[in-house]
Structure 1
Amino acid sequence: MSRSHHTPGPDPALRRLRIALTAFFAVDGFLFAGWVVRIPAIKEQVGASAGQLGLALLGVSAGAVATMVLTGRLCRAFGSERVTVVTGVMLALSIALPPRTHSAPALGMVLLLFGISYGGMNVAMNSVAVDLVAALRRPVMSGFHAAYSMGGLLGAGLGGLLAPHLSAATHLLLLTPVGLVAVALAGRVLLAHPLRRPAGPAPEPARPDAQEHATAPAGTEPAAAASGTAARSTAVLVAVFGLIAACTAYGEGALAEWGPLHIQQDLHGGPGIAAAGYACVALAMTLGRLSGTALLERLGQTRALVLGGLTACAGMLVGALAPYIPLVMAGFALTGLGLANLFPTAIARAGELTGPSGVAAASTLGYGGMLLGPPSIGFLTDAFGLPTALTTVAVLAAVAAGIAYAARNSGTQQTVPPRAG
């Protein structure tokens, strides 16, 4: 009887925790999608140009990036589970605020609060997910991000149905109680089963960077056991994963915040069709992430990242430049499929290396990509048009593939823990 093979998987507490954490990822995607499918209506309401909207949207990313390093510290001080619940409540409350503004500067200030909630929740729940992945001893991070995409699909679908009948203010106000109830139900489970990174003699799950730390004493944190050279090497790897996440977040943010506007403004689709465009992205990302564990186990990290980046590059060229809405939607879907596993894989590896601080560092770099996205695309749209501006997503997806390929010999290609025995 092999106890080590038996212990993590069947544990009922881990199963309940996995379900609750999946619910948090789904709520995050649901609320965010509710906001993005209403961007065209809110842009019209505040009378913003593309450049002004880009600066206002900067509030989401600026708030997220500004709070991410702080959130890493808060997770270590109070526990990632508590921070996840608190920021989840903040996100559910702040979703109702954007349609109650009437100028681009006011919208930007409200979106700063929304971004603080969104960024804090993402770091905290990803930190919980990293610890849960270690406890389960399987690369299931993509499954949590699949729940985010599924939530996004539901949020976009609901937004498309409600857009012709409800104002943006009424629609987003209705999302607040939905978010609060979900956070309350899932949060009870999360707080009842806190996970901690092992600090005692109990062995940690085998990790992809095991060779690098093979001589470290059992039960020590990697950063404590590593020499100065190894610590610098770890920091470089976290930065590499952060850059991959940055290229991916730029693309995800562009698709979410500018994709519906492209369909409605440039191709003259209605608000329901614009929402369906984002729903295509969310559906493709859901399918990609549901198959992410199998893909990583079969291909390994490097091949999966390179293939994803190149797929997203091809898809975005079609989505940005095709003259017909069905082709644009197909291009958006292909882009979503390609991007699906880049961000979760990068964040998971950074978390495996240094825990919540790695998640926070890679997330900060990642959302730095989203920070650059809204104003860059807004200004490029004013100068060259939105279709041309969206091609920058294709460029950065190709860059992400290139980074992953260049780092293939740095110990980054292994994602699946070695099987016991």
Structure 2
Amino acid sequence: MPQRNKMRTALPGGSGGSTAPPSFTRLRTALTVFFALDGFLFAGWVVRIPAIKHRTGATASTLGLALLGVSAGAVITMMLTGALCRRYGSHAVTVVCGVLLSLSIALPARTGSALTLGLVLLVFGAAYGGMNVAMNSAAVDLVGAMRRPVMPSFHAAFSFGGMAGAGLGGLVASRLSPGSHLLALTGVGLLVTAVTGPALLRSGTPAAAPAQEPGVAAGERQPHRMSPHTRRVVALFGVIALCTAYGEGALAEWGALHLSQDLRADPGLAAAGYSLFALTMAIGRLSGTALLERFGQTRTLVAGGATAAVGMLFGALAPTVWLTLLGFAVAGLGLANIFPVAVGRAGALAGPDGVAAASTLGYGGMLLGPPVIGFLADWRSLPAALTTVTLLAATAAVLGFAARNAGTPERFE
């Protein structure tokens, strides 16, 4: 029997009846640490890309092809991880992927060509994609058991972990070689996994009663066999995740260039653009639980998409650096909670498979953003290309409203 179902009778409303609800503090803390570790390790790799490009002698185009290894590995693994979570439990898969991610992050700095770099990045991407699906699946189970919308707090931990990883990478870039830096990150990752993993493995996998599909009794739902209706709804939430991830990818790759090239900002100020975006996104996610409890999921999705659309309109078209930075900050606040809510709703409907499907679509948006922006920038201009972030954020708001009655409770009570 899949591990995710083992504790169902011990929860309020489960078939076992009156058992007192367990304390989820330890489990929530352990999951928060793994989300932060995921962001920390990924950001640590990203900041060393320029140095590894120089080491391998890759051109811009060959480096771009090599970096597709991360994407390919992640996307392939994401869909497989849902089945692994059902079979072995999302907690165990999270811990295993934490070990693999920690080990694989040291590999890119050991390569000597773009080809070998691309091959090892397949492994790194596979571990990264698997960990994202597994820990999000575990978080969805915990959210359902707690009956509180705490999903954004986990994604806030990811954002803060990424900021810490990028900041540390910037500090040590001139002092440590990429090989030494990434090997040190392997040590950090293995240590954190060794300390936190046992707490995750000892915690039973909580699962609240799943959201009922139309025409299907709660006890009859088969989460591993999605009905056509459920599949369509999960795809809808995946597209919502794609719309917001598109903006994250676009700002990560093109925000600094827009500030320096179009607005003549100095390098330090240009680099601060994405940092400000990431900071406001993290702050927005910290407040996400309170927003969801007060306003519900639909209002949070719609308001977030509309806010991000307005912010990016300023970020793309404002004539001054400071107005552009303000636009980036507002966009970060708006986008903050859309992805975690969309993935959480997909997981509530279809378990790990729902998380895998929505995450894969969402991750595809992050991959799609940078090349689309580059193509449009060559065709028209970079500011015009960045307005596509506004368009997709507005689309997320519209789809969020359209999904208002899609199978999960509007509020957690």
TM class by shorter-chain length?
A: 0.7 to 0.9
- Match of residue 350 from structure 1: 346
- Greater Cα offset, 300-309 or 367-376: 367-376
Which whole-Å CA distance do the structure 1 matches of 2:36 and 2:277 have between them? 15
- Match of residue 216 from structure 1: 217
Q: 3-state SS of the aligned residue for 1:364?
A: helix
Check conservation: 2:265, 2:321, Cα contact below 8 A.
Answer: no
Check conservation: 1:247, 1:396, Cα contact below 8 A.
Answer: yes
Which whole-Å CA distance do the structure 2 matches of 1:135 and 1:166 have between them? 44
Which whole-Å CA distance do the structure 2 matches of 1:166 and 1:322 have between them? 39
Please give the per-residue CA displacement for 1:231-250, whole angstroms capped at 9, x wherever unaligned. Answer: 32222111110111111222
Check conservation: 1:54, 1:375, Cα contact below 8 A.
Answer: no
Aligned length: 398
Does 2:410 match 1:415? yes
Of residues 29, 53, 77, the one that matches 1:19 is 29
Q: 1:263 to 1:66 in 2, by over 3 A?
A: farther
Check conservation: 1:84, 1:121, Cα contact below 8 A.
Answer: yes
Q: Which amino acid aligns with 1:415?
A: E
- Match of residue 60 from structure 1: 70
Q: Which amino acid aligns with 1:361?
A: A
- Match of residue 140 from structure 2: 130
- Report the alpha carbon displacement of residue 261 of structure 1 after superposing the two structures with TM: 5.5
Which whole-Å CA distance do the structure 2 matches of 1:328 and 1:231 have between them? 45
Which whole-Å CA distance do the structure 2 matches of 1:309 and 1:95 have between them? 34
Percent identity between the two aligned chains? 63
- Match of residue 157 from structure 1: 167
Which whole-Å CA distance do the structure 1 matches of 2:133 and 2:291 have between them? 24
- Match of residue 200 from structure 2: 190
Which whole-Å CA distance do the structure 1 matches of 2:114 and 2:325 have between them? 29
Unpaired runs of 5+ in structure 1?
Answer: 198-203
- Report the alpha carbon displacement of residue 351 of structure 1 after superposing the two structures with TM: 0.8
Q: Which amino acid aligns with 1:108?
A: G
Check conservation: 1:50, 1:381, Cα contact below 8 A.
Answer: no
- Report the alpha carbon displacement of residue 341 of structure 1 after superposing the two structures with TM: 0.7
- Report the alpha carbon displacement of residue 139 of structure 1 after superposing the two structures with TM: 1.1
Of residues 85, 103, 126, the one that matches 2:95 is 85
Which whole-Å CA distance do the structure 2 matches of 1:167 and 1:274 have between them? 25
Check conservation: 1:26, 1:151, Cα contact below 8 A.
Answer: yes
Of residues 109, 114, 121, the one that matches 1:111 is 121
Unpaired runs of 5+ in structure 2?
Answer: 1-10
Check conservation: 2:97, 2:128, Cα contact below 8 A.
Answer: yes
Which whole-Å CA distance do the structure 1 matches of 2:316 and 2:54 have between them? 22
Check conservation: 2:230, 2:349, Cα contact below 8 A.
Answer: yes
- Greater Cα offset, 327-336 or 22-31: 327-336
- Report the alpha carbon displacement of residue 337 of structure 1 after superposing the two structures with TM: 1.4
Check conservation: 2:66, 2:115, Cα contact below 8 A.
Answer: yes
Q: Which has the higher contact order (CA 8 A, sep 6+)?
A: 1
Q: Which amino acid aligns with 1:247?
A: C
Q: 1:46 to 1:307 in 2, by over 3 A?
A: farther
Q: 1:81 to 1:234 in 2, by over 3 A?
A: same
Q: 3-state SS of the aligned residue for 2:204?
A: coil
Please give the per-residue CA displacement for 1:5-45, whole angstroms capped at 9, x wherever unaligned. Answer: 99776x34x21111000000011111122233344454555
TM-score normalized by the length of structure 2: 0.84
Does 2:336 match 1:340? yes
Which whole-Å CA distance do the structure 2 matches of 1:333 and 1:47 have between them? 36
Q: 3-state SS of the aligned residue for 1:96?
A: coil
Of residues 233, 245, 248, the one that matches 2:244 is 248
